Amino acid sequence: MEVTIDKNSGYCFGVEFAIKMAEDEMEVSEKLYCLGDIVHNDMEVQRLSKKGLVVIDREQLQGLTDCKVLIRAHGEPPETYRTAIENNIELIDASCPVVLKLQHRVKTAFDKMEREQGQIVIYGKKGHAEVIGLTGQTLEKAIVVMEDKDLDKVDYSRPVTLFSQTTKSTKGFYELKAKIEERIKAEKGELSEVDFNANDSICRQVSNREPQLQRFSLENDVILFVSGKKSSNGRALYQVCLTENSRSYFVENETEIDPSWFNSEDKVGICGATSTPMWLMEQVLDYVQSLERDKVLEN
């Protein structure tokens, strides 16, 4: 059995940068808090917790003073920065540059929409850390849409500016864009630039993984997609694999692997989300190879 790891999988720049900042800071600080899980992967969170990273939520942040708090790659709304100033908290800001740029674009577009009685619509998961940071730029007025039923919340008689959470599916974004266009035409009889402005704000480092994973899935008999169950990016990319290869399996770690998934002559490909550490994929590879060594697999 041949087992390989997809060379394009693993941390994106933003996650890698945030983890490096956390590890560097923990070498010189007695305690470092992190506002939310630094990455949507429980095993990596546990690894960093053993090094001293303490995960807190927004309610706990309100009660902290005179300490250091890491802002993860997902970014934060303006309210977090105000709290830090009021409570004398030093922020270690590891916000992804792509996310920070998007926050600025959303804020600028929101100011324009306010003048024109328009609406900001964000394609993303309500309650996701990045989406919280984006809606914070709009005084919480942005409409978050994920499914068709969410589209009923939009007033199509008014101008609409659309953005996307950076880690969403490109295909999903353009399908949503087309549905909004149809509803505006149904409402107004025509579609103009004044009525609708769609911004593909999906991170290209993320979106480029879709065609890469399509090829990787076709090159292998079995796909093991390694990701934390909390990862939106992980769920989206796993669907890319599953569409191309029906023998694709979503696992959080090697303990979830069933030996019956494999035959001894299979080519097995291991890949993951932008929140999946390379060490975890290597751990999965070692386990799969041990199945053949222990003669668990059938010929």
Domains of the chain, residue spans:
2-9+208-293, 13-96, 98-165+168-201
**Contact 228/203 with Cβ under 8 angstroms?**
no
Residue 71's φ and ψ, nearest 5 degrees, are -95, 120
The mean per-residue pLDDT over the stretch 151-159 comes to 96
User: Per DSSP, which regions of 115-231 are E strands?
Assistant: 119-123, 143-145, 160-164, 196-198, 222-226
* Digit-coded pLDDT (tens) for 248-260: 999 999 999 999 9
pLDDT at residue 296 is higher than 70: no
What token pair was written down for 298?
A: 């059938």
The mean per-residue pLDDT over the stretch 43-49 comes to 93
Q: Which residues contact 179 (CB under 8 A, 6 or more apart)?
A: 148, 151
- Measured between alpha carbons, how far is 248 from 218 in angstroms, rounded to an integer? 11
The percentage of residues in the chain with a pLDDT greater than 70, rounded to a whole number, is: 98
Q: Is the pTM value of this prediction over 0.75?
A: yes
**Contact 195/160 with Cβ under 8 angstroms?**
yes
| 13-96: CATH number | 3.40.50.11270
pLDDT at residue 218 is higher than 80: yes
pLDDT-based confidence at residue 236 (cuts at 50, 70, 90): confident
Question: Could you confirm whether 140 is annotated as catalytic?
Answer: no
Q: What is the CA radius of gyration of the chain?
A: 22
Predicted confidence at residue 190, as pLDDT, reads: 86
For the chain, the residue count is: 299
CATH topology of domain 98-165+168-201: Cobalt-precorrin-4 Transmethylase; domain 1 (3.40.1010)
**Contact 72/18 with Cβ under 8 angstroms?**
yes
The mean per-residue pLDDT over the stretch 67-73 comes to 96
Predicted confidence at residue 155, as pLDDT, reads: 96
Yes or no: is domain 2-9+208-293 CATH 3.40.1010.20?
Answer: yes
Comparing 2-9+208-293 with 98-165+168-201, is the CATH topology the same?
yes
- Measured between alpha carbons, how far is 263 from 3 in angstroms, rounded to an integer? 12
User: Per DSSP, which regions of the chain are E strands?
Assistant: 2-5, 32-35, 53-56, 68-71, 90-93, 119-123, 143-145, 160-164, 196-198, 222-226, 248-251, 267-272
Q: Which of 86, 130, 181, 298 is catalytic?
A: 130
pLDDT at residue 298 is higher than 60: no
Number of alpha helices (DSSP H) and beta strands (DSSP E) in the chain: 11, 12
Q: How many CB atoms lie within 10 A of CB 281?
A: 21
One-letter amino acid of 213: L
The whole-angstrom distance between residue 250's C-alpha and the CA centroid of its chain comes to 16
**Contact 250/271 with Cβ under 8 angstroms?**
no
What token pair was written down for 181?
A: 């266009």
